[in-house]
């Protein structure tokens, strides 16, 4: 059997796990988070929202279907490190074009395997997400711990510039063109423009630093605020842009980080969750329909609504903001976290989770229809009559 | 959307006897349903004919009807109980079919009963193949898939052989044949040749209640997946679990090795299956509840085909519930009364709702357990007709760990890879060739092929499509094996690596002979401190805290066993169901848990059978889903005992091995030797009862008779004994359950043949040779004995068939129907003497034969028997509960004072007006075919073949027997033709019953010899030639196959073993035609009484609670 190099994983509180090198040999640091998805490792690895994070996969077998040319959510792997229990020795799938481990090695992703990932996950659940280091070059946990404690924190991290596109690009509508959307790329996933395109939407993806004028200059009927990594409290530029858009009544849709941006633009705070939501099995209640959808999540921060403590049920009522009434449209049934906001008087709504899925269930795909309807102005009038 | 307030009384329909394809998973689901409904304040009535179920314990329903699950009897229950609604989705196909029949007969409408949990249209849409095909295509259109018509195999529904042939002309062979409305895939199969086609399609048409089969494009070799879904009335849908079959399409999922979650799907493919599953569920219109959908995926291009859906809780949903911790049946019951998923809390986290999809951080493997050895001549090829009789499940932190644990859970001769030598002459080529036919234990063949040098690609091809990922996992084990064999020493690192891969001490011992066997490996392992930790099944991959101690072992770093200072008792379950060891033992284990919990112990259940109530995490205080091997049990004991002591408590104060059948009993001595506190009857006492010589001494001391006997290790020795005691003799291996390998031998050549076939004979395992008592009455007794030697006779059962038919296969009556008071006194005296002589502390089962007024002891088993639940229900006394308490030190006097046992009297002397309970066995002959496609022989003998049993209970024997037949086989006929062909020695005994049947208006058809005798007694009968006699027109077999016969009475000819097979053609025709076939004189006499009762037409139903109240009052 292939012998792997030993590797260690050290958390900032000192807890240490021993395992073997996986992917690239080296050393890496980041925020340790766990993901409970049982499928979709390729989508997870290439999701820019995981930038600077060391992802722990709770599913024990990773790499079973190899990697293919179709399932990347961006142009590269973003995770800062990868923790798995049992890496596959071969990938088996008719679409596979290579092995996951080769890809990790090629892209220089340092990982560790053979770790009791359940013990690590339980630790993160109890103590919260924290900094971590993985090393397959230094076997001294104490030295690694010192370096972990010097590595940057996630709170206060402004990462949009590191993940955004360098140049604007366009994803054309499929079939008849109906609308144009300008997407502010804070770490967008490929499946977002794809889901929009399926509804006749042409998406112009612009770099994170773009101004509202630049967005609207594309001829956009609406603005999309993308998901992405980092602490929303640092995103002053995008928040200001969102306030502009609200003021001009430009239809607005945000996902995940984009949802936090809109929340802040409306005057709400954001806070860091203990260990975040990362998985594809999260139950979210849509308060408009009263139905539950099983959804894909990847967020470490959330919007704080005045009057509702963390973990408390958010009342289903209109909250006054600078931009009129706002309702919490979606909540996570596991822990009552705010999962969606909807402006009552303006054409704007967001969700904290991932209707574009990839990975994950397609239950929330209808939100792209809502966006299209919003652009058409229909939902706006309905929203008013509901208010 | 809270629960409905208009439902105050619900009738739950169970699934009846355990049969292949419908086993105790429905006791698990039905028990959950009853619990849920009652906790909601709803009155629950229940119909289930299976006395071995927990659900039919009187405390689980308000009115429990142990009555046949037929429209006739269920209507009687409805008329008496007048429920608001019926819940039929938790009782398998039996319950669903009965509900549909009641609807179609207008009974539901007549009594204003609503069917909840499913609607008739949805059932029809799900089960009618043609409708279902249209529905899938419609769902595909709605989803916008490219080729909606391609979502189902090309196929056509046929109602005749002409239509079948026309369809195959279009599709080409091979094709799959699937009859409509049968359970467990009964009657389905794959036809590669026109001969296959004629046979399978012909049988399928007759097996289908609507004479309909689907002929379908073959997706043989495609990957097979299942999804378990739940929907509530607000249209919320969740996927509880995905299951991947290692055996590709072509093997029934019940016979496949399966894995959860799916291992070889990308998210894109998995979500496509999920979307399709949900769309189909909505299109079918399953309003609320659980549903199972099966898919085939073409490994070459990913094309998905929807195979079928079951709009009800199924075997797979029981597996999915155990695999995930998401209790599908419980939730289904809540959804049926109006709750929505988001209103129901997740049992395990308590804080999060059931409206979510479980995330697993472990791998689950299920392996089916077969019983081909019980049916010589049956074709062991695995096909789309389910043939397995049970299954074991295991959990591990990786696939190989789960796989190895599941393999050693099977309790077959092989205890995992490398534990038995390769077949002589095994080569890479012949091993690859052997892979082509799906068979029991195919993964052993896979491992051997890889070890002998075959590539993964070659094995994928040879096996018809096993996914390379699984094969690579096994290849990794092959590499690890070489490393272990080659290593200079087995050091801690390599040992740990081997344990992480799931290898047992026994497997390692096989690879390292210098380590003094399994014990040596264990000693080394403990010295190196390589021990398992215990993880928790929590539905959420550790995202939330779990409150339910549902554990599995793994060689990982952190254990989750919560220390507790309470006194703990481990109860060892019975492992996978097999013939001879099934639900009855699980029943007793669950009772032990209930009794010991109530007595203040912390109960810890150890078992590996996912179908059972015992492995419901709600049953015991703690559940360990582990193989029942010495190593695995010892580690659980160690984990619980040491954590308990560390918490300042007494740790494990007892391990109960008596209630789970032979499996835990077989571990008793080794556990005791290892310092484990085995409670109840001591291993030494167990040996006294099981070792022939020692037991003979016990009998001799008490002056009890037993048939003359001896022990032999060779033919010569056996012949000497046979000559001495005289033929016929009963021969069998020592230490068996279910009469495995037991035969009645009438002459020297047959004896020589038997000894020649019994390959395992050794001085340690001799063959027992007993005088066989012809025409004796067989009596079964279950009794309790405490430390003071006080004996409580639980019940005395009189067999209806004469001795010689395995007690598990014969019907019996309680209280006994013909025994005299003096016989009963003798039975009591014998039982007390044996219980005291052996030193029983708990349950004892004794089998007796009464011949010419002399009582002989056949055998004694110092453990819970198969009949414990039947006796408990027939006498209103919970014997297994009492046994568990006695094991932990209670006396019978104390239990009488407490009220667990009656204050006075016992089951050996029932009140004169006690109802008669009849137990009838259910046999699986219909499932099997010989290689040439013929039915197999249904003749009964000393080797047990039944899979389950039913109980009929009524005020007199005739009614009770008629009910037992209705419940087991379909009702006895009340008119029509009866075919009779009996052996010469039985002709005298048959005259009365046949005459009575003729007087009742039946037409009698008989073979020549039988007809002559009947005519001489004035019985008009039609004469028909035997199958092998030349002549014109119908012979006996074609008459039966033609469907004109309502009942067959055929007793085996002659006394030689070869002569016994004479009636084979007749009996197998009866099996094929699915009509009752009686093979003994007493059976015929009982049938006559049953038929008379049916003709009188005064069948009544009465709840068990009522019967028990009467019995208790009489005590």
pLDDT band at A385 (very low <50, low <70, confident <90, very high): very low
Quote the pLDDT of residue B759.
60
Which pair of structure tokens corresponds to residue B621? Answer: 């205080």
The C-alpha angle with vertex B567 and arms to B562 and B571, in degrees rounded to 5, equals 85
Which pair of structure tokens corresponds to residue B1010? Answer: 């039988």
Quote the pLDDT of residue B183.
59
Which residues, 6+ apart, have CB-to-CB distance to B535 below 8 Å? A118, B362, B397, B551, B552, B553, B554, B556, B559, B560
**Cα distance between residue B883 and residue B891, in whole Å:** 10
pLDDT (mean) for A220-239: 96
Are B270 and A282 an interchain contact pair (Cβ–Cβ within 8 Å)?
no
Peptide bond into B547 cis (omega under 30): no
Element (H, E) at B997: helix B987-999
Q: Which of residues 474-503 of B touch A (CB under 8 A)?
A: 476, 479-480, 483
Residue B1012 has pLDDT above 80, yes or no: yes
Q: Which of residues 225-254 of B touch A (CB under 8 A)?
A: 234-236, 238-239, 242
**Cα distance between residue B102 and residue B74, in whole Å:** 8
Quote the pLDDT of residue B738.
58
Each residue of B837-890: pLDDT tens digit?
A: 999 999 999 999 999 999 999 999 999 999 999 999 999 999 999 999 999 999
Which regions of B500-563 does DSSP assign to beta strands (E)? Answer: 533-536, 550-554
Each residue of B253-276: pLDDT tens digit?
A: 999 999 999 999 999 999 999 999
Number of H helices and E strands in chain B, helices first, is 39, 39
Minimum CA–CA partner of A90 in chain B: B469
Cα–Cα separations (whole angstroms), residue B632 to B252, B408, B504, B592: 30, 10, 9, 21
Q: Are A47 and A73 in contact (CB under 8 A)?
A: yes
Residue B483 has pLDDT above 50, yes or no: yes
Considering chain A, what percentage of its residues have pLDDT values greater than 70?
96
Minimum CA–CA partner of A289 in chain B: B234
Which residues, 6+ apart, have CB-to-CB distance to B446 below 8 Å? B435, B459, B463, B466, B471, B474
Residue A386 has pLDDT above 60, yes or no: no
Which pair of structure tokens corresponds to residue B1022? Answer: 């039609």
Are B542 and A121 an interchain contact pair (Cβ–Cβ within 8 Å)?
yes
Which pair of structure tokens corresponds to residue B327? Answer: 């209790």
Of A17, A122, A357, the CB nearest to B542: A122
Are B271 and A357 an interchain contact pair (Cβ–Cβ within 8 Å)?
yes
Each residue of B608-659: pLDDT tens digit?
A: 999 999 999 999 999 999 999 999 999 999 999 999 999 999 999 999 999 9
Residue A134: burial class (beta carbons within 10 Å; 0-12, 13-18, 19+)? buried
C-alpha distance across the termini of chain B, in Å: 49
Cα–Cα separations (whole angstroms), residue B388 to A70, B185, B626, B715: 41, 12, 21, 34
Indicate the range of A309-313, B371-375, B1101-1105 predicted with least confidence. A309-313
**Cα distance between residue A263 and residue A255, in whole Å:** 11
A176 is a catalytic site residue: no
Quote the pLDDT of residue B860.
94
Tokens 């082509």 correspond to B436
Which pair of structure tokens corresponds to residue B160? Answer: 């005749």
Q: Are B886 and B659 in contact (CB under 8 A)?
A: no
**Cα distance between residue B957 and residue B967, in whole Å:** 15
Q: Are B942 and B967 in contact (CB under 8 A)?
A: no
C-alpha distance across the termini of chain A, in Å: 65
Quote the pLDDT of residue B1097.
86
pLDDT band at B375 (very low <50, low <70, confident <90, very high): confident
Quote the pLDDT of residue A383.
46
Answer whether A38 touches B (CB < 8 Å): yes
Which residues, 6+ apart, have CB-to-CB distance to B390 below 8 Å? B23, B368, B369, B576, B577, B578, B582, B609, B611
DSSP string, A57-82: E-SSEE-TT-B-SS--SSSS--BSEE
Half-sphere exposure of B42 (CA within 13 A, CB side): 29
The model's pTM is 0.94
Of A39, A119, A335, the CB nearest to B267: A39
Are A334 and B535 an interchain contact pair (Cβ–Cβ within 8 Å)?
no
pLDDT (mean) for B964-974: 90
- Phi and psi (nearest 5°) for B403? -65, -50
Say which residue, B916 or B1053, is predicted with more confidence.
Answer: B916
Mean pLDDT of chain B: 92
DSSP string, B856-922: EEEEEESS--TTHHHHHHHHT--HHHHHHHHHTT--HHHHHHHTSS-SS--TTS--TTPPEEEEEEE
The C-alpha angle with vertex B742 and arms to B741 and B743, in degrees rounded to 5, equals 120
Each residue of B531-565: pLDDT tens digit?
A: 999 999 999 999 999 989 999 999 999 999 999 99
Are B264 and A122 an interchain contact pair (Cβ–Cβ within 8 Å)?
no
Q: Are B61 and B83 in contact (CB under 8 A)?
A: no
pLDDT (mean) for B797-822: 91
Considering chain B, what percentage of its residues have pLDDT values greater than 70?
97
Residue B500: burial class (beta carbons within 10 Å; 0-12, 13-18, 19+)? buried
Residue A309 has pLDDT above 80, yes or no: no
- Of the candidates B14, B38, B35, the one whose C-alpha atom is nearest the C-alpha of residue B26 is B14
**Cα distance between residue B24 and residue B869, in whole Å:** 14
Q: Are B839 and B685 in contact (CB under 8 A)?
A: yes
pLDDT band at A384 (very low <50, low <70, confident <90, very high): very low
Residue B831 has pLDDT above 60, yes or no: yes
DSSP string, B309-375: EESS--HHHHHHHHHHS--HHHHHHHHHTT--GGGSBPTTTSSSBSSS--B-SSEEEEEEE--GGGS
Residue B999 has pLDDT above 80, yes or no: yes
Quote the pLDDT of residue B52.
96
**Cα distance between residue B728 and residue B714, in whole Å:** 18
pLDDT (mean) for B151-167: 90
Quote the pLDDT of residue B524.
97
Mean pLDDT of chain A: 94
Q: Are B843 and B656 in contact (CB under 8 A)?
A: no
Quote the pLDDT of residue B149.
86
* Beta strands at B1077-1078 and B1045-1050: parallel, antiparallel or unpaired: parallel
Answer whether A300 touches B (CB < 8 Å): no
Are B359 and A61 an interchain contact pair (Cβ–Cβ within 8 Å)?
no
The C-alpha angle with vertex B227 and arms to B223 and B232, in degrees rounded to 5, equals 165
Chain B residues in contact with A85 (beta carbon < 8 A): 397-398
A256, A299, A330, A332: the catalytic one is A256
Are B234 and A65 an interchain contact pair (Cβ–Cβ within 8 Å)?
no
Answer whether A92 touches B (CB < 8 Å): yes
pLDDT band at B184 (very low <50, low <70, confident <90, very high): low
**Cα distance between residue B625 and residue A370, in whole Å:** 47
pLDDT (mean) for B336-364: 94
- Of the candidates B573, B1, B606, B33, the one whose C-alpha atom is nearest the C-alpha of residue B317 is B33
- Per-residue 3-state assignment (H helix, E strand, C coil) for B73-87: HHHHHHHHHCCCEEE
Each residue of A110-121: pLDDT tens digit?
A: 999 999 999 999
- 3-state secondary structure (DSSP) of residue A284: strand
Which regions of B5-107 does DSSP assign to beta strands (E)? Answer: 9-13, 43-47, 63-65, 85-87
pLDDT band at B693 (very low <50, low <70, confident <90, very high): confident
Quote the pLDDT of residue A101.
97
pLDDT band at B737 (very low <50, low <70, confident <90, very high): low
**Cα distance between residue B201 and residue B189, in whole Å:** 8
pLDDT (mean) for A127-141: 96
Interhelix angle B71-81/B92-104, rounded to 10 degrees, is 70
Q: Chain A to chain B, count of Cβ pairs less than 8 Å apart?
A: 170
Each residue of B112-127: pLDDT tens digit?
A: 999 998 889 888 887 7
What pairs with residue B911 in β-bridges? none
Are B398 and A86 an interchain contact pair (Cβ–Cβ within 8 Å)?
yes
**Cα distance between residue B486 and residue B209, in whole Å:** 60
Rg (CA), chain B: 28
Residue A152 has pLDDT above 70, yes or no: yes
Each residue of A86-97: pLDDT tens digit?
A: 999 999 999 999
Which pair of structure tokens corresponds to residue B872? Answer: 């408990």
pLDDT (mean) for A129-146: 97
**Cα distance between residue B886 and residue B882, in whole Å:** 6
**Cα distance between residue B1109 and residue B1105, in whole Å:** 6
**Cα distance between residue B206 and residue B202, in whole Å:** 7
pLDDT band at A379 (very low <50, low <70, confident <90, very high): very low
Quote the pLDDT of residue B1056.
46
Question: Could you give the ipTM of this predicted complex?
Answer: 0.96
Chain B residues in contact with A116 (beta carbon < 8 A): 556-558
For B105-128, where are the alpha helices, taking DSSP H only? Answer: 107-110, 120-127
Quote the pLDDT of residue B1059.
44
**Cα distance between residue B648 and residue B642, in whole Å:** 10
A256 is a catalytic site residue: yes
- 3-state secondary structure (DSSP) of residue B392: strand
């Amino acid at each position: 059997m292939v012998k792997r190099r030993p590797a260690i994983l050290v958390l900032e509180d000192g807890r240490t796990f021993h395992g073997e090198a996986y992917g690239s040999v080296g050393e890496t640091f980041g925020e340790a988070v766990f993901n409970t998805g049982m499928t979709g490792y390729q989508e997870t690895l290439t999701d820019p929202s995981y930038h600077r994070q060391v992802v722990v996969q709770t599913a024990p077998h990773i790499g079973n279907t190899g990697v293919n040319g179709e399932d990347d959510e961006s142009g590269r792997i973003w995770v800062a490190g990868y923790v798995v229990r049992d890496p596959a020795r071969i990938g088996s799938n008719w679409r596979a074009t290579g092995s996951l481990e080769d890809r990790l090695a090629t892209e220089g992703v340092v990982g560790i395997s053979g770790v009791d990932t359940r013990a690590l996950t339980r630790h993160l659940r109890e103590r919260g997400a924290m900094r971590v280091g993985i090393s397959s070059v230094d076997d001294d946990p104490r030295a690694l711990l010192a370096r972990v404690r010097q590595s940057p924190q996630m709170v206060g991290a402004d990462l949009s510039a590191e993940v955004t596109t360098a140049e604007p690009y366009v994803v054309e509508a499929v079939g008849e063109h109906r609308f144009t959307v300008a997407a502010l790329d804070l770490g967008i996933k490929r499946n977002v423009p794809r889901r929009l395109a399926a509804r006749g939407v042409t998406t112009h993806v612009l770099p994170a630093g773009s101004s509202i004028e630049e967005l609207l200059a594309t001829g956009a009927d609406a603005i999309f605020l993308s998901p992405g990594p980092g602490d929303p409290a640092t995103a002053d530029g995008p928040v200001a842009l969102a306030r502009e858009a609200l003021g001009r009544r430009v239809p607005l849709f945000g996902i995940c980080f984009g949802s936090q941006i809109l929340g802040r633009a409306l005057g709400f705070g954001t806070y860091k969750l203990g260990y975040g939501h990362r998985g594809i099995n999260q139950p979210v209640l849509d308060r408009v329909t009263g139905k539950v959808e099983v959804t894909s999540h990847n967020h470490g921060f959330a919007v704080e609504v005045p009057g509702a403590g963390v973990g408390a049920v958010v009342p289903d009522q209109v909250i006054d903001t600078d931009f009129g009434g706002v309702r919490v449209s979606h909540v996570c049934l596991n822990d009552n976290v705010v999962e969606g906001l909807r402006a009552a008087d303006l054409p704007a709504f967001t969700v904290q989770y991932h209707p574009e899925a990839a990975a994950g269930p397609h239950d929330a795909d209808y939100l792209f229809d809502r966006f299209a309807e919003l652009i058409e102005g229909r939902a706006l009038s309905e929203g008013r009559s509901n208010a | 959307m809270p629960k409905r307030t208009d439902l105050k009384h619900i009738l739950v329909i169970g699934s009846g006897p355990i049969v292949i394809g419908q086993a105790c998973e429905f006791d698990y689901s039905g028990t959950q349903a009853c619990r849920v409904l009652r906790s909601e304040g709803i009155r629950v009535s229940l119909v289930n004919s299976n006395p071995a179920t927990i659900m039919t314990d009187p405390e689980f329903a308000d009115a429990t009807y142990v009555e046949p699950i037929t429209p006739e009897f269920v209507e009687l229950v409805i008329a008496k109980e007048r429920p608001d609604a019926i819940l039929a989705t938790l009782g398998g196909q039996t319950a669903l079919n009965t509900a549909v029949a009641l609807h179609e007969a207008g009974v539901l409408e007549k009594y204003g009963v609503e069917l909840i949990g499913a609607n008739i249209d949805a059932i029809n849409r799900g089960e009618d193949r043609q409708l279902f095909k249209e529905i899938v295509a419609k769902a595909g259109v709605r989803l916008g898939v490219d080729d909606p018509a391609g979502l189902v195999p090309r196929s056509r529904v046929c109602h005749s052989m002409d239509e079948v042939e026309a369809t195959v002309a279009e599709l080409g062979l091979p094709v799959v044949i699937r009859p409509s409305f049968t359970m467990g895939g009964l009657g389905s199969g794959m036809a590669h040749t026109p001969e296959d086609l004629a046979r399978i399609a012909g049988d399928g048409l007759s097996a289908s209640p609507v004479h309909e089969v689907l002929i379908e494009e073959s997706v043989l070799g495609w990957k097979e997946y299942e999804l378990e879904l739940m929907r509530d009335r607000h249209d919320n849908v969740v996927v509880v679990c995905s299951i991947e079959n290692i055996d590709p399409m072509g093997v029934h999922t019940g016979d496949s090795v399966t894995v959860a979650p799916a291992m070889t799907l990308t998210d894109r493919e998995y979500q496509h299956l999920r979307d399709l599953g949900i769309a189909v569920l909505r299109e079918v219109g399953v309003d609320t509840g659980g549903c199972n959908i099966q898919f085939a995926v073409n490994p070459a291009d990913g094309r998905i085909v929807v195979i079928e859906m079951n709009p009800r809780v199924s075997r797979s949903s029981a597996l999915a519930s155990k695999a995930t911790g998401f209790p599908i049946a419980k939730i289904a019951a809540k959804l049926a009364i109006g709750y929505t998923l988001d209103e129901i809390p997740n049992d395990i986290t308590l804080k999060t709702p059931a409206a979510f999809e479980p995330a697993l951080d472990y791998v689950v493997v299920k392996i089916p357990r077969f019983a081909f050895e019980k049916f010589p001549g049956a074709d062991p090829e695995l096909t789309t007709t389910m043939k397995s009789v049970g299954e074991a499940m295991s959990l591990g932190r990786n696939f190989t760990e789960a796989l190895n644990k599941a393999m050693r859970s099977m309790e077959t001769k092989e205890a995992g890879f490398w534990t038995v030598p390769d077949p002589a002459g095994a080569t890479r080529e012949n091993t690859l060739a052997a892979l082509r036919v799906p068979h029991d234990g195919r993964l052993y063949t896979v491992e051997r092929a890889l070890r002998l040098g075959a590539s993964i690609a070659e094995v994928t091809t040879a096996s018809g499509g096993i996914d390379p990922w699984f094969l690579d996992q096994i290849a990794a084990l092959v590499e690890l094996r070489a490393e272990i064999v080659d290593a200079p020493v087995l050091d801690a690192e390599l040992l740990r690596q081997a344990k992480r891969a799931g290898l047992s001490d026994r497997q390692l011992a096989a690879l390292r002979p210098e380590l003094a066997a399994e014990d040596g490996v264990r000693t080394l392992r403990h010295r190196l401190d390589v021990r398992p930790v215990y993880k928790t099944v929590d539905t959420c991959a550790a995202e939330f805290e779990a409150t339910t101690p549902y554990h599995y072992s793994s060689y990982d770093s952190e254990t989750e066993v919560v220390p507790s200072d309470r006194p703990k008792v481990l109860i060892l379950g019975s492992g996978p169901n097999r013939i001879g060891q099934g639900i009855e033992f699980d029943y007793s284990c669950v009772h032990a848990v209930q009794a010991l919990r109530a007595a203040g112990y912390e109960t810890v259940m150890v078992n590996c059978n996912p179908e059972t109530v015992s492995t419901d995490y709600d049953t015991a205080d703690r559940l360990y889903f582990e193989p029942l091997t010495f190593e695995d049990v010892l580690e659980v004991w160690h984990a619980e005992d040491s954590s308990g002591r560390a918490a300042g408590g007494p740790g494990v104060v007892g391990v109960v091995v008596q209630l789970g059948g032979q499996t835990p009993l077989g571990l008793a001595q080794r556990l005791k030797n290892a310092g484990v506190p085995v409670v109840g009857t001591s291993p030494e006492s167990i040996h006294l009862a099981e070792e022939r010589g020692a037991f003979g001494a016990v009998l001799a001391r008490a002056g009890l008779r037993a048939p003359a006997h001896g022990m032999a290790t060779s033919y010569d020795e056996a012949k000497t004994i046979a000559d001495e005691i005289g033929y016929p003799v009963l021969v069998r291996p020592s230490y068996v359950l279910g009469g495995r390998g037991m035969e009645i031998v009438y002459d020297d050549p047959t004896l020589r043949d038997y000894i020649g076939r019994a390959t395992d004979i050794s001085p340690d395992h001799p063959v027992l040779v007993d005088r066989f008592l012809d025409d004796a009455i067989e009596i079964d007794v279950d009794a309790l004995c405490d430390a003071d030697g006080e004996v409580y006779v639980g019940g005395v059962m009189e067999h209806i068939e004469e001795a010689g038919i395995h007690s598990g296969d014969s019907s019996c009556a309680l209280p006994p129907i013909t025994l005299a008071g003096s016989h009963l006194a003798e039975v009591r005296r014998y039982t007390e003497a044996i219980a005291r002589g052996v030193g029983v502390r708990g349950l004892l089962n004794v089998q007796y034969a009464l011949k010419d007024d002399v009582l002989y002891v056949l055998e004694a088993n110092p453990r819970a028997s198969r009949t414990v639940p039947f006796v408990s229900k027939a006498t209103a006394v919970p014997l297994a509960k009492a046994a568990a308490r006695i094991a932990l030190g209670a006396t019978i006097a104390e239990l009488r004072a407490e009220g667990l046992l009656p204050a006075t009297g016992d089951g050996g002397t029932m009140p004169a007006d006690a109802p008669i309970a009849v137990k009838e066995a259910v046999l699986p002959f219909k499932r099997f075919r010989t290689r040439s496609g013929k039915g197999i022989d249904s003749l009964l003998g000393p080797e047990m073949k039944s899979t389950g049993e039913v109980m009929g209970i009524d005020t007199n024997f005739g009614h009770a027997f008629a009910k037992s037949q209705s419940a087991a086989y379909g009702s006895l006929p009340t008119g029509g033709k009866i075919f009779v062909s009996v052996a010469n020695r039985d002709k005298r005994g048959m005259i009365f019953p046949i005459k009575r049947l003729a007087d009742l208006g039946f037409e009698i058809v008989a073979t020549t010899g039988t007809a002559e005798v009947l005519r001489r007694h004035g019985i008009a009968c039609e004469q028909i030639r035997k199958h092998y006699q030349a002549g014109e027109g119908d012979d006996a077999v074609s008459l039966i196959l033609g469907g004109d016969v309502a009942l067959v009475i055929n007793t085996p000819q002659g006394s030689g073993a070869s002569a016994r097979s004479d009636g084979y053609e007749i009996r197998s025709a009866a099996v094929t035609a699915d009509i009752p076939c009686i093979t003994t004189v007493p059976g015929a006499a009982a049938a006559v009484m049953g038929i008379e009762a049916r003709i009188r037409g005064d069948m009544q139903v009465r709840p068990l609670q009522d019967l028990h109240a009467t019995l208790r009052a009489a005590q």
